[in-house]
Amino acid sequence: MAETLYERPSVAEVVTAKRGRGGRLHWTDIFTYVYLTLGVLLMFGPVVWLVLSSFKTPAGLIEFPPTLLPLGQISVDVEGYDKPLPLFRATLEDGSVRDLAQVRRIGIVSQMVDPADPETTIKVPIGQREPVREFRLAWENYKDPLERFNFMRYLMNSVIVTTAATLVTLLINSMAAYGLSIYEFRGRGAIMLFVIGTLMIPITVILVPVYLVVTKLGMVNTLWAVILPGAATPTGVFLLRQYMLTIPKDLIEAARMDKASEWAIYWKVVLPLAMPAIAVLAIFSIMWRWNEFLWPLIVLNRSEVYTLQVGLNAFQGELDVQWHYILAMTVVTLIPVVLVFAFLQKFITTGIASSGMK
């Protein structure tokens, strides 16, 4: 549906009209398609690579050059051995190549048997054999860490935090934006200055003071500690206010004539008109809260209040970087983002394009 929004006669149509009349391609036309193709590769490629890699075994991950698809070594059951043995393609001394199963490796020599003939042991230098592999997804990268902790709980917490924080943000930001855009009053300039001033303070630099405040309010280890501090986003106020400024004043005057209260004007007249900007803020708020990491790490240290981002990182130890888990868990945190994006993509892009950022 949203696509139709673009179908109004656009600038580009006029500019590129030549093409329709059979003129030859301008250099910018070729450039356009080259740029777009490269763009898709560059923007999607890394994420696709991440997903593919997350299904590789630890051994597969440290291979160079990396294989495109996740592969796993084939194991075969050999008579006389309890466990399945790994299969290799070995080059023998006489130059012949055979698929052999490895019994054990001693130093630089590996003892192998032919699965068809388990009686005779063949000794092969380890440089002369290569694992035989097949396409296999290493689901254990996902299963192991997810089984280790209460995934549903963390997911719940994240959903609660994201939803509650977004609702609070939308309500108080839209109220503030309404106050700052509809009324002319003394102090308005000062407050705008203040809002924009706080727009630029990265929370990282005031972590400790905010922690102190949260401690004094008794909110440590409750979800409130992650919901409330970031609720009054200056970005949100700024964005909504810029948009509300474009709403015709006559509408508001007309409503006042009809004896509507200010609150009614706010939610019955202005809010519906500001929907595109509110949608944008909602989406950003969801993303911010969903992705928040540093702050929850400091205020939440009890597992029942962990958010997904904290929980999924809990397996990172002192001495070990386990890429297979890191990649898999990164994919897990990506899934909701992708879903939101897939469903709301048109909403998001048209929303931002048509909202107050102009």
Partner 1 sequence: MADPATLTMSERLTALVALPARMVFQVLEYPLMLIQRLVGIRGMPWVFLLPNLAFFGIFVVIPLFINFAFSLTGGTQLFLADRVYTGTEQYAYLFDCGNYLDPTTCREDRFWKGIFNTSVFIFFQVSFLVLFSLITALILNQKIRARGFFRAVYFFPVLLSPVVVALIWKWILLRDGVLNAFLVWLGFDKILFFVSPEWAMFWAIFVSIWAHMGFYTLILLAGLQAIAPDLYEAAEMDGTSRERVFWRITLPLLWPNMLVVIVLALIKGVQIFDEVFVLTGGGPGTATQFIVQYIYNTGFTQQVQNFGLAAAASVVLGVVLFVLTMIQLAVTRRRDNG
Partner 2 sequence: MQKLVRGLLPVSLVAVSLATSATAQTELRMMWYNDGIEGEVMQGILDRFEEANPDISVTLDVVPYKSVLESLPVQLASGQGPDIARVTDLGGLSQYYLDLTPYISDPSYWQENFGPFLKWLDPQGEAISGFMTQLTVTGPYVNKTLFEQAEVEMPGEGATWDDWATAVVEVADKLEIPIPMAWDRSGHRVAGPAISMGAQMFDAEGNPALVDDGLKAMAQRLYDWHQDGTMSKELWGSVSGNTYLGANEDFANAQVVMYMSGSWQIPQFADKIGDAFDWWAVPAPCGPAACTGMPGGAALVAIKDTEHPEEVGKLMDFLTQEENLAEFYGKTLFIPGHLGLAKGGVEFATDDPRAKHALETFAGAVPTISPIAFDLQGYVNNRIMFNALISRLGEAIVGELTLDEAYERMTDDVAKQLAEKGRQ
CB contact at 8 A, 107 and 66: no
Q: What number of other Cβ atoms are within 10 A of residue 118's Cβ?
A: 15
Q: Is 172 in the site for partner 1 (CB under 8 A)?
A: yes
Cα–Cα dist 288/162, whole Å: 8
Helix (H, G, I), strand (E, B) or coil at 319: coil
Closest CA to 7 of 275, 350, 351, 356: 350
Least separation in angstroms between CB 74 and partner 2: 16
Work out which of 23, 25, 38, 49 binds partner 1, going by CB under 8 A. Answer: 49
Amino acid at 185: F
Strand partners, 135: 71
CB contact at 8 A, 286 and 162: yes
Least separation in angstroms between CB 130 and partner 2: 13
Q: Tell me the window of 26-34, 108-116, 136-144, 247-255 that interacts with partner 1 (CB under 8 A).
A: 26-34
Helix (H, G, I), strand (E, B) or coil at 152: helix
Work out which of 287, 314, 315, 322 binds partner 1, going by CB under 8 A. Answer: 287
Cα–Cα dist 294/300, whole Å: 10
Binding string, residues 43-82; x marks residues near partner 2 by CB under 8 A: ---------------xx--xx-------------------
Q: Tell me the window of 31-39, 79-87, 93-101, 153-161 that interacts with partner 1 (CB under 8 A).
A: 31-39
Least separation in angstroms between CB 190 and partner 1: 12
Report the interface residues with partner 2, using CB under 8 A: 58-59, 62-63, 104-105, 107-108, 126-127, 148-149, 156, 160, 163-164, 167-168, 208, 211-212, 215, 217-218, 220-224, 227-228, 297-298, 301-305, 310, 313-321, 323
